[in-house]
Structure 1
Amino acid sequence: MKQCIACGMPMKKIDDYPLGDTTKDYCKFCARPDGSMQNYDEKLSSMTQFIIRTQGLNPGVAQKSAAFMMSKLPAWKSNSDD
């Protein structure tokens, strides 16, 4: 089982991959409609919205949480301030 390099989601089935392409290292939630991977700003925005929706955090806290989580993932290591 692969883990998405951009959000950490486990990719267990073909439906988890962008356009069903199991050669990709990122999941369907980190892909654009054409199957290419979202950039850092796109992913930060969508992950922030996900955190707001699922955890009820205010936007500023949610964005900081998303940025922290993303800094630990392979796709965004170059964007972290660690």
Structure 2
Amino acid sequence: MKQCIACGMPMRKVDDYPLGDTTKNYCKYCARANGSMQSYDEKLASMTEFIIRTQGLDAHVAQKSAAFMISKLPAWKRGSDD
């Protein structure tokens, strides 16, 4: 089982992958309609909305929480050359 590099979601089934492409290392929720991975800003916005919807936090707190959570994931870690 893979784990999405952009949001951390476990990817257990083919339909967890963007366009069913199991070679991708990110999930369908972190992909655009064409199957490419969302940018950091797109992921931050969607994760913020998810936190607001599921946890009822205000937008500012939800955005800070989302930024903290995704900063620990491989897709968003800053390399030494960034």
Shorter-chain TM-score tier: over 0.9
Paired AA for residue 36 in structure 2 = S
2:78 and 2:61 map into 1 onto residues whose CA distance is 22
Could you say which residue in structure 2 is the equivalent of 1:71? 71
> Runs in 1 of length 4+ with deviation above 3 angstroms?
none
Could you say which residue in structure 2 is the equivalent of 1:26? 26
Could you say which residue in structure 1 is the equivalent of 2:55? 55
2:33 and 2:52 map into 1 onto residues whose CA distance is 23
In the alignment, structure 2 segments of 5+ residues that lack a partner are: none
In the alignment, structure 1 segments of 5+ residues that lack a partner are: none
Count, aligned residues: 79
TM-score (norm 2): 0.95
TM-score (norm 1): 0.95
The percent of aligned pairs where both chains have the same amino acid is 81
